[in-house]
Amino acid sequence: MNGGLWALAVSGALAGLGWFYQKAWDRREQRLDHYFGIIDRLPAFLATPPNFQDINATITEIRRLWIVGPNDVVRAANAFLEIIEGAKPQEEKENALRAFILAMRRDSTFASALVPRFFHNKLSSDEIVLRTATPR
């Protein structure tokens, strides 16, 4: 009887770990899908002339980061958009783009999905800026 309880406990623990692993994998896949939607449209920001339809679609995806993204990804997105809006030199735009992509890359790792982000969601109201792209 005692061996049966141990087997039940071990199988329950393994099932729990499997469930936790699957949920983390699903979170990672959701993040990747969201980030791929953003990355696929990022060249529109650096194109000449700008593609305002793709830019607005990307800005819409970036706004969704306010809900699902960690602070560092939201802040990198904001920095990128501020540099684009400020008509900065191409090198600054590319550096901000690289920082944004690296922030998304760090967040899309399995380890990042495995560890909950309870303490990585402390944005201030100043960091939520409603943007839209319009021709100048």
Q: Give the domain ranges of the chain.
A: 26-127
- The chain-wide mean pLDDT, for the chain, equals 81
Tell me what pLDDT residue 99 has: 94
Tell me what pLDDT residue 93 has: 86
pTM above 0.85, yes or no: no
Tell me what pLDDT residue 114 has: 66
The DSSP line for 93-127 is HHHHHHHHHHHHHHHTSHHHHHS--TTS----GGG
Q: Spell 66-76 as b/e; 16+ CB within 10 A means b.
A: eeebbbbbbbb
Ranges of residues in the chain with a pLDDT under 50 are none
Structure tokens at 17: 């770990």
> Do residues 64 and 81 lie in contact, with contact meaning Cβ atoms separated by under 8 Å?
no
